[in-house]
Structure 1
Amino acid sequence: MLTNPALLRAIGHELRTAREALGWTRAQLVSQLDREVHSQTIATYELGIRQCTLGRFVAICDALGIPAPQVLTNAMRRAGVEPHLLACAVDLRLLVRDRSPDLEPLRRWAQHRLDAGVDEDGIVHLEPTLVAELAVFCGLAHVELFRRLEVFTSDSGL
C-alpha cells in the first residue's frame, strides 16, 4: 500500500496529465477499462485522495498507452521519494532459498514466519522502518538491504 500522500498526488498528476494529453474526459477513460470503474473513482485517483490497486493502476496506464513503471518513476521523481523510503513486498519463499551469507539472519526470520503461518501467501509487506531494523541484523545499510530485497518480489521469481 502506498501511504505517502505526496506520491499519491504525484501519481494522480501523472495519470491526469496523460489522460488530458489524449484529450479524454474521465468518462472516456472509464470506457476504455475492462472493469466497471466510475468517473468519480478516477477523479479520486487523479487527486491523490484514494489509492488504487496495482492491477487497476496498470489497467489505467495500459488504457492511456503509457508504461506503468514510467508513470511510477515520474511520480516518485515529482514527489521527491527515494525508492527505499517505500514499503516493499517480499516473497519469503524466494528469500529462504537465497544463499547469500550476509542474509542468513533474514533467511532465519523469513523461515520462522513461514513455519508459523504468519503470512498465508508467503508475501510480507515491509515498511521502511522494519527494513532499516532488519538491515542492522544483516550488517547492511538500509538502502542496500532494500535494493537486495527487490529481487525477492513474487514477480522476480517467475
Structure 2
Amino acid sequence: MTEEAIAKAVGEELRIARETLGWSRTFMVSRLPSGIGDRTLLSYEHGMRQITVFRLIELSEAVGLASSSVLAMALQRARVDLANLELIVDLRSLLADFSPQFRPLHQWAKNKGNQCPDGIARIPPAAIDELATFMGCTPRDLVLHLTKFTPDYVAEVVNGRAQRGLLKVPD
C-alpha cells in the first residue's frame, strides 16, 4: 500500500506541474532527452508504474521543480515518512479550523503568517517537536493534523516554470 501511495502521489505532483504549465503529455515527452512515450508518462502520472530516481529528476527538471520538492510534497500528501519531512502548511486554511485540541495553534499561525505573505509556511521537524510540546500532544498527532492543511496547487507559471508556493527551483 505504501509503495502504491507514494507512486500515485509523486505522479500526481508531476501531472499537476505539467498541467500548470499548460503542457500536454505529448509536448512534455518531446522535451525529454530520454525519449519516453506518452503512455509511459501517463503510467507515471497515475502511479501505475514505479518511477526511478533518474526519471524523477528528469521529469521534475522538465517542469522546473526540484525533484526533492516533488518528492517531499508527494510524501506529505501520501502521509508517509512524516516525522522526517519539512511540512508545507497553508496557514489560512489552518486558521479556518476550529478543532478544540489545536486551537492554540491559531496565534502561532497568525504570527507565522506575518512572515509568509503567500500564507504558505515550511515547518521543519524540530519546530514540529517544539510545537507539539507546547500543545501537549505527540509530534505524530500534530503532524497528522497539519497535513490536513497541505496547500492546494497554485496554478501559476513564472518565467516558463511551474510554481506552487515555495517550491520553485532557483534560476
Q: TM-score, normalised by structure 2?
A: 0.46
Q: Spell out the pairing of 1:50-89 with structure 2 (5 A cutoff).
A: 50-82=49-81
Q: Which runs of 5+ in 1 are unaligned?
A: 86-158
Indicate if the aligned counterparts of 2:76 and 2:82 stay in contact, CA closer than 8 A. Answer: no
What do residues 117-146 of structure 1 show as CA deviations (whole Å, max 9, x unaligned)?
A: xxxxxxxxxxxxxxxxxxxxxxxxxxxxxx
What do residues 31-66 of structure 1 show as CA deviations (whole Å, max 9, x unaligned)?
A: 110011000000000000001211111001011100
Matched residue SS, 1:65 = coil
> Which aligned runs of 4 or more in structure 1 are off by greater than 2 angstroms?
none
Indicate if the aligned counterparts of 2:56 and 2:67 stay in contact, CA closer than 8 A. Answer: yes
What do residues 78-106 of structure 1 show as CA deviations (whole Å, max 9, x unaligned)?
A: 00001689xxxxxxxxxxxxxxxxxxxxx
| Partner Cα distance (2:68, 2:54) in 1 | 13
| Partner Cα distance (2:29, 2:76) in 1 | 27
Q: Which runs of 5+ in 2 are unaligned?
A: 85-171
| Partner Cα distance (1:52, 1:34) in 2 | 16
| Partner Cα distance (1:77, 1:57) in 2 | 17
1:6 matches 2:5? yes
| Partner Cα distance (2:21, 2:48) in 1 | 23
Equivalent residue number for residue 25 of structure 2:
26
| Partner Cα distance (1:8, 1:24) in 2 | 21
Equivalent residue number for residue 36 of structure 1:
35
| Partner Cα distance (1:42, 1:34) in 2 | 13
Between the two proteins, the alignment pairs up a number of residues equal to 84
Identity of counterpart residues, as a percentage? 40
Corresponding letter in the other structure for 1:77: Q
Q: Which has the higher contact order (CA 8 A, sep 6+)?
A: 2
Structure (1 or 2) with the larger CA radius of gyration: 1
Q: RMSD across aligned C-alpha pairs, in angstroms? A: 2.0
Corresponding letter in the other structure for 2:14: L
1:45 matches 2:28? no
Corresponding letter in the other structure for 1:82: D
